[in-house]
Structure formats: structure tokens, C-alpha cells
Structure 1
Amino acid sequence: MAVSYSHEPFTNFKEEKQQTSFQKSLDDVNTQLGQHYPLVINGERVETDEKIVSINPANKEEVIGSVSMADKDLAEKAMQAALQAFETWKKQKPEHRANVLFKAAAIIRRRKHEFSSYLVKEAGKPWNEADADT
């Protein structure tokens, strides 16, 4: 299956349309900051008392979000669930596995500015670096 790209790999931020589009994504991401995310192990949401808090390195007052912290037992449980899932996944035809990856790539392409906006916030990256990473 051939992969085709309908756009340039990097955003031209000299274009006002691209600046406006990226700023809208940043504004959208700003509305989602501060949320808490549980661990997900074998499809089950797991909350723990200990949390990891992500702070914007460019603005130490801005909390990006928090996630429950896994201990050794939860990490082992997650590893065992992943190994078990792999037993099914490895039996899938290569074409099916490739299609899953192509679909994921298409989603990331459609939501490119959103993913890049999270990099701007969580890693303190400039727009062009976040765009290149995405």
C-alpha cells in the first residue's frame, strides 16, 4: 500500500492562515489544561494516590495535567497485559497491522496542530520545533 501526502511535511508559519490555525489549536489545548489522567491497564482505569504533575517549562505556573503514578506491582500488571495482548496482535495479518498504523498516522496528520500544541505547552518548544517533531 503506497502512502501519499497531500501537504508539505512542515507548516509554513509565515502564512497568516497557518498562524491562525495553530493559535486556534493552542487556544483549544489551553481549555484542556489541568486535567487528571488515570493509568489504563488492560482497559481498566486505575487511580493511585501518588501523581505525576506536568508543568509547562516555559511558564512554571501553568499545570499541563497530572497522571496517576504506577508502583512496581502496577507496572508489572501493565507489562503482563501488554504481553497478553501481543499474543493476539502478532497473529493478525501484516496488512491489518499496517492498516492500523496508517489510520493512526492519518489521525495525527489531521490533528497535527493539536499534537504540536501539546508539545509547545508540555515541553516548552517553539512552534516550528513542535511542528517538526509531530
Structure 2
Amino acid sequence: EQARKTFRVGNLYLNRGITGALVERQPFGGFKMSGIGSKAGGPDYLLQFMDPRSVTENTMRRGFAPISQEDDWT
């Protein structure tokens, strides 16, 4: 009872397994960093820890690779 009143957390498991709501199946809410964001394992979970970027290269700027004489499809 004391731990339940003392700890200010979103989820607190005492003397039981640490499984709770199923990801993307049941609503989840919490306090501070375990708030209404995505639950661990959700489709956007890793985006919290990343700075996504798109990297592209113009493969046409150097032209096509030369065709080898050994290629028999020509």
C-alpha cells in the first residue's frame, strides 16, 4: 500500500507478472514519460528515439554501368 501511494508512475506491478495491456489492443495512459505516447512495441515506438531522415543518391548523374562483354542477354 505504501509503494502504491509513494511512487508517481504510470504503471506499477507489485508481486505479479509485468504484463499489462496488449500493444495496439487496449487503451493505455500514464504519468510523465509513460503518458499517452506510443506503448512499447507499437508501430511508432522507435520514432521517439530517432531523428528520421531520407538519404537519396542520383544514380543517373554518372550514367549507366558499362555492359560487360560476358553478359549474354544483349
Using the size of structure 2 for normalisation, the TM-score is 0.23
Structure whose residues are more often helix by fraction: 1
TM-score by length of 1: 0.16
**Could you say which structure has the greater relative contact order, defined with CA pairs below 8 angstroms and 6 or more residues apart?**
1
